[in-house]
Amino acid sequence: MKRNILKTLTLAATIVVALMQSAVAAPRLQPLPVEQQARFGATHCIELAAADLAGVTYSNIAWAVTNTVTKPCAVRFVAYLLDQPFNNTKAYDTNGVMTTTNSITLSCGDGNSATKWISGLQVAADQTPTVVGSFGTDYTATITGLATNVTGITVTSPTLNAQTSDVKLILTLTPSGSEAQLGSLTRGKARFFFRIIGAGMQVQ
């Protein structure tokens, strides 16, 4: 009897572990090891991989994930790296047409502008992306009225300083056409590096 109970408990534990391992978590903002912090000048990273999209069944619709840095905080976008362009296996749809990832664009921003740092960057392997590393496009703003002889100064900054509200970091993938169904992707990885000073992080 004891052996049967032990076997049952062992089997249950094995099933729980298997379920935990098979579950695909959304890309999370993670602290970097000290060595990588020194190398990249960043404190945190979000890694987006093809495996993160396994549960995405729709196509030709943008997919977004949001990480939230809790207040009070300061956030600086540091860099973007496309470690591997996104692609899928050359499968056939119900009409016998070969599917391809002909276009997938990626954006990165915050709650005020989802394209604040990266706007519609091509990451599909079939498009042979030419931008594999970038410091992003800074958000621009015009300052006026600083002096009588200054009509306006355009400044750019990738920094969000002294935020008294939570900061949402948003990654968006946008496929083009049903042939670019995100859930069918079998390879691809991009990383986003940030320098963050704050109370903590949570994922929404």
pLDDT means over runs of 10, the chain (204 residues) = 42 31 64 89 93 79 89 87 84 60 87 89 86 72 48 58 84 76 85 83 52
Task: Please name which of 162, 48, 167, 69 lies closest in space to residue 116, comparing C-alpha atoms.
Answer: 167
Which SS3 state, helix, strand or coil, does residue 120 take? strand
119 by Cβ neighbours in 10 Å (0-12 / 13-18 / 19+) ranks as middle
pLDDT confidence of residue 130: 85
pLDDT confidence of residue 188: 92
**Per-domain residue ranges of the chain:** 25-203
Beta bridge partners of 153: 143
Beta bridge partners of 73: 163, 198
DSSP character for 98?
A: B
